[in-house]
Amino acid sequence: TQSTWGSGRRYSSARADPYGMENKDQVAQLIKQHASKIQYSEKYTDDQNEYRHVILPKPIVKLLPKGKLMTEREWRSIGVQQSLGWDHYMIHRPEPHILCFRRPKNYVAPPIR
59-98 pLDDT tens trace? 999 888 888 999 999 999 999 999 999 999 998 888 989 9
Q: What value does the mean pLDDT take over residues 6-18? A: 39
∠ CA 11-12-17, nearest 5°, is 65
Q: What is the pTM of this model?
A: 0.75
Q: Are 6 and 26 in contact (CB under 8 A)?
A: no
Q: Across the chain, what does the average pLDDT equal?
A: 83
Q: Are 17 and 5 in contact (CB under 8 A)?
A: yes
The fraction of the chain above a pLDDT of 70, given in percent, is: 81
- DSSP notation for the chain: -EEE-SSS-EEETTSPPTTS-SSHHHHHHHHHHHGGG-EEPPPEE-SSEEEEEEE--HHHHTTSPTTSPPPHHHHHHTT----TT-EEEEE-TT-TTEEEEEEETT--PPPP-
Q: How far apart are CA 78 and CA 95, in angstroms?
A: 17
Q: Per-residue confidence at 20, pLDDT binned at 50, 70, 90?
A: low
Query: Which residues, in sequence order, are bridge partners of residue 28?
Result: none
